[in-house]
């Protein structure tokens, strides 16, 4: 029986009246009474105190009836008391104050923090249904709410206005007062609580980076990172788009927002790029407006000057004054205009003929204006002069390598690493500077280790832009080999130094690498051990040996795994492997087992290697027919000559190109009637002579033929009894039947005797009659 009672009701409320049937005279109540529930002797069930659902929501009771002696007559009957909820508890926030932060321009509606409250009342009823609300926002600019809250979950997010207007410079923080009400907030009698929420506004980091300059025709390995963008929150998915057309950009972006140039650029082909970085959420929705990325391709002097035509013709009058302009020679350069790369220099390198003298003309160095220089010209001297003018771009001042790299610090201190530190890990950054011309072979720095790493366990990669050196682990460290490395670095240029300048101690630095021990598993000398042995070797023959070494020099114990046929055993101390049973190549020609080496003591670490034993064949299997030939028969007596070609094989390893068998007839008498001849290595032909007898029973079937059919006496077939067995079965059956008949006969005889005896007794007991 189940009863529902509201909590908080007055005590002494009757729940139910039970009735008892004789011989029951009273009632007994047991279970979760909590001193609240009682039952009177007449069966009246009631509670003497107000119930509290929050203390116990369900009471499990049992009612029994007792007789006058206290013995149970009926029951116990289970009784369930469900305590129904009333709104007698107020909601309470888990914290009196909450702290949070949000980025400006964050996506509206996406929660950046939560507030939580609890209510002890039943959550399945309106009493425990909580509603959240922001009741105060400070400051509240232009009476606009910048924040909103999910009234059911307590999730706080920005409104559309908040996403647009929040600015940490104007207002770095906001304070909210959040309330929570029960009864779903729909009842005037609901309870409530409030809490304070302090929110810090962080700067929006989703900003367009500064324009990037990339030197054209770079020979550095690509891709090269050129700039970075970052969304305000983790988890954004980045991509690049081009405004004008589908993306064929020589740029890429990774999922950390790093932007890379993927190939060398050519300024003369395209001198600038404008594209956009996009951040999307996990479902592909843009998180904000794209950021514009500007890239300018920086010119280098990679184009020679050109002349508009192979020959330029100027005319000049006789007796022109010295200094007169004859004409202007114009050259072109595809490098960037108004830069040193495109400034042209003109020079006369030859005059033909040199009459009446050399140097009759000059050319302005930068303008290309050709003038008379030596004297006025006369046609009688020559009617034509051929001038060769050289046009070049700016003078190339080539830096010489007269400065050595200098380390920022000479001692990088001590570094302690475990010997199992992963290969490829960067463990130290070193840096040297060189004051030669930047981005040339004279200023580029290469680092090498000149002392303390004879086994080449460390390497150094150089950043081509910053000349920083990153020390990495190239090979595993080994405490047992070298526990302390005193490393000395040398910084050098790929270009040789000029004469008289040498590297000195300023170009070197040091640090101490301390390697700590890690308990390592034993190490086999090889991963796979192989051996060959004849399949007929004696049991106990040594067939191989494995060796392993523990880096901590602990003793090693060897054992075998996957020794499925039990053919091998291993000496646990020496690692020698022996046979323990006869081997059989035909069963398994390559026997594979695993060898485990386990350190004795320590943490009992182990490692595994493979042992492969190849079994060499011996001739231990006789030839046999490759298939059954019982379906064929030859008639006897012979009516005509017969022939049979048969195939022979054996289970030993096949020889190349094919096995060779010899064939003969065993019985001397059969050789007169039959002959066998070799066809090839695996086949032979058996043929008859006139009047032959069948000598090869079990291989070929011979029978008496009647009208073209082969008749043979039936032999014993499985499941068919022999004559002796049939006679025995019949005799046994007759014997059993006889025994049964005898037993039946004896029992009938005894029953007749008993009936006669009882009849005689009955007649003696009858009274006499007159």
Q: Which fold has domain 2-84?
A: Immunoglobulin-like (2.60.40)
**CA atoms of 490 and 578, how far apart (whole Å):** 55
Runs of H (alpha helix) within 77-158: none
- Average pLDDT on 519-541 reads 91
List of E strands, 679-770? 683-688, 701-706, 709-711
Cα three-residue angle 729-734-740, rounded to 5 degrees: 125
**523-616: which CATH number, 1.10.10.10, 2.60.40.10, 2.60.40.60, 3.20.20.70?**
2.60.40.60
List of E strands, 329-422? 345-352, 361-363, 369-372, 386-392, 406-407, 411-418
Give the per-residue SS3 of 635-690: ECCCCCCCEEEEEEECCCCCCCCCCCCCCCCCCCCHHHHEEEEECCCCEEEEEECC
Mean pLDDT score of the chain, rounded to an integer?
85
**CA atoms of 282 and 132, how far apart (whole Å):** 28
Q: Which residues of the chain does CATH 2.60.40.60 include? A: 2-84, 92-202, 212-298, 406-516, 523-616
The number of angstroms, rounded, from the C-alpha of 367 to the middle of its chain's C-alpha atoms is: 67
Q: Are 433 and 386 in contact (CB under 8 A)?
A: no
The number of angstroms, rounded, from the C-alpha of 349 to the middle of its chain's C-alpha atoms is: 70
Q: What is the pLDDT of residue 639?
A: 56
Nearest to 411 by CA among 430, 395, 435, 433: 430
Greater model confidence, 214 or 633: 214
CATH 3.10.350.10 at 92-202, yes or no: no
Pairing of strands 590-599, 606-616: antiparallel
CATH superfamily entry for domain 212-298: Cadherins (2.60.40.60)
Nearest to 93 by CA among 234, 232, 195: 195
- pTM to 2 decimal places: 0.40
Q: What is the pLDDT of residue 533?
A: 93
Q: Are 300 and 344 in contact (CB under 8 A)?
A: no
Given strand 643-649, what is the order of strands in its sheet? 624-625, 643-649, 683-688, 674-678
- Average pLDDT on 644-654 reads 72
Q: What is the pLDDT of residues 1-21, one digit of tens each?
A: 999 999 888 887 889 999 988
**CA atoms of 572 and 558, how far apart (whole Å):** 4
Q: Which fold has domain 406-516?
A: Immunoglobulin-like (2.60.40)
**CA atoms of 670 and 145, how far apart (whole Å):** 118
Q: What is the pLDDT of residues 129-181, one digit of tens each?
A: 999 999 999 999 999 999 999 999 999 999 999 999 999 999 999 999 999 99
């Amino acid at each position: 029986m189940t009863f529902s009672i509201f909590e908080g009701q007055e005590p002494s409320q009757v729940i139910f009246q039970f009735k008892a049937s004789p011989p029951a005279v009273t009632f007994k109540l047991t279970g979760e009474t909590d001193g609240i529930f009682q039952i009177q002797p007449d069966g009246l069930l009631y509670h003497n105190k107000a119930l509290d659902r929050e203390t116990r929501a369900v009471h499990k009771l049992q009612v029994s009836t007792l007789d006058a002696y206290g013995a149970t007559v009926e029951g116990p009957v289970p009784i369930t008391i469900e305590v129904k909820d009333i709104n007698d508890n107020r909601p309470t926030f888990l914290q009196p104050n909450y702290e949070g932060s949000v980025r400006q321009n964050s996506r509206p509606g996406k929660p950046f923090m939560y507030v939580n409250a609890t209510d002890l009342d039943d959550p399945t009823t309106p009493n425990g249904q909580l509603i959240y609300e922001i009741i105060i926002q400070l400051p509240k600019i232009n009476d606009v709410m910048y924040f909103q809250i999910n009234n059911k979950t307590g999730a706080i997010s920005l409104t559309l206005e908040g996403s647009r207007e929040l600015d940490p410079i104007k207002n770095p923080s906001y304070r909210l007062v959040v309330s929570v009400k029960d009864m779903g907030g729909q009842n005037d009698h609901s309870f409530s609580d409030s809490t304070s929420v302090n929110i810090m506004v962080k700067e929006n980091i989703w900003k367009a980076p500064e324009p990037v300059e990339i030197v054209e025709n770079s020979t550095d390995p690509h891709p090269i990172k050129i700039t970075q963008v970052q969304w305000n929150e983790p988890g954004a998915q980045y991509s690049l788009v081009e405004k004008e057309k589908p993306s064929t950009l020589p740029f890429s972006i990774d999922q950390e927002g790093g932007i890379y140039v993927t190939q060398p650029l050519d300024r003369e082909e395209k001198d600038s790029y404008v594209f956009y970085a996009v951040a999307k959420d996990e479902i592909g929705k843009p998180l904000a407006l794209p950021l514009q990325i500007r890239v300018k391709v920086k010119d280098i002097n990679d184009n020679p000057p050109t002349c508009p035509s192979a020959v330029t013709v100027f005319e000049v009058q006789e007796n022109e004054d010295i200094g007169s302009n004859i004409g202007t020679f114009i050259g072109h350069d595809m490098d960037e205009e108004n830069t040193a790369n495109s400034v042209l220099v003109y020079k006369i390198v030859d005059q033909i003929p040199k009459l009446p003298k050399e140097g009759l003309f000059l050319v302005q160095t930068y303008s290309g204006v050709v003038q008379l220089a030596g004297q006025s010209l006369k046609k009688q001297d020559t009617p034509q002069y051929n001038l060769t003018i050289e046009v070049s771009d700016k003078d190339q001042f080539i830096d010489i390598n007269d400065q050595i790299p200098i380390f920022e610090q000479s001692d990088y201190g001590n570094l302690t690493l475990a010997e199992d530190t992963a290969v490829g890990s960067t463990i130290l950054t070193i840096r040297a500077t060189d004051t030669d011309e930047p981005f040339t072979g004279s200023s580029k720095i290469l680092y090498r280790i000149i002392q303390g790493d004879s086994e080449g366990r460390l390497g150094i990669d150089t950043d081509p832009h910053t000349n920083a050196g990153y020390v990495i682990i190239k090979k595993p460290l080994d405490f047992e080999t070298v526990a302390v490395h005193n490393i000395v670095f040398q910084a050098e240029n790929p270009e040789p130094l000029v004469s008289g300048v040498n590297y000195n101690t300023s170009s070197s630095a040091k640090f101490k690498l301390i390697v700590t021990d890690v308990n390592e598993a034993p190490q086999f000398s090889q991963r796979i051990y192989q051996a060959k042995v004849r399949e007929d070797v004696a049991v106990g023959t040594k067939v191989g040996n494995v060796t392993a070494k523990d880096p901590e020099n602990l003793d090693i114990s060897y054992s075998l795994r996957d020794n499925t046929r039990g053919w091998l055993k291993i000496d646990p101390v020496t690692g020698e492997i022996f046979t323990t049973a006869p081997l059989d190549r035909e069963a398994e020609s390559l026997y594979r087992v695993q060898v485990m080496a386990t350190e004795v003591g320590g943490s009992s670490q182990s490692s595994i290697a493979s042992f492969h034993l190849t079994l060499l064949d011996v001739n231990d299997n006789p030839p046999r027919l490759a298939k059954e030939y019982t379906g064929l028969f030859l008639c006897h007596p012979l009516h005509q000559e017969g022939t049979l070609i048969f195939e022979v094989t054996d289970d030993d390893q096949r020889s190349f190109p094919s096995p060779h068998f010899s064939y003969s007839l065993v019985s001397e008498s059969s050789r007169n009637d039959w002959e066998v001849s070799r066809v090839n290595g695996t086949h032979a032909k058996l043929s008859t002579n006139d009047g032959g007898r069948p000598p090869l029973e079990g291989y070929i079937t011979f029978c008496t033929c009647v009208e073209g059919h082969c008749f043979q006496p039936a032999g014993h077939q499985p499941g068919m009894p022999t004559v002796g067995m049939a006679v025995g079965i019949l005799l046994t059956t007759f014997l059993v039947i006889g025994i049964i008949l005898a037993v039946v006969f004896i029992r009938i005889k005894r029953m007749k005797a008993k009936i006669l005896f009882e009849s005689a007794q009955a007649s003696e007991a009858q009274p006499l009659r007159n």
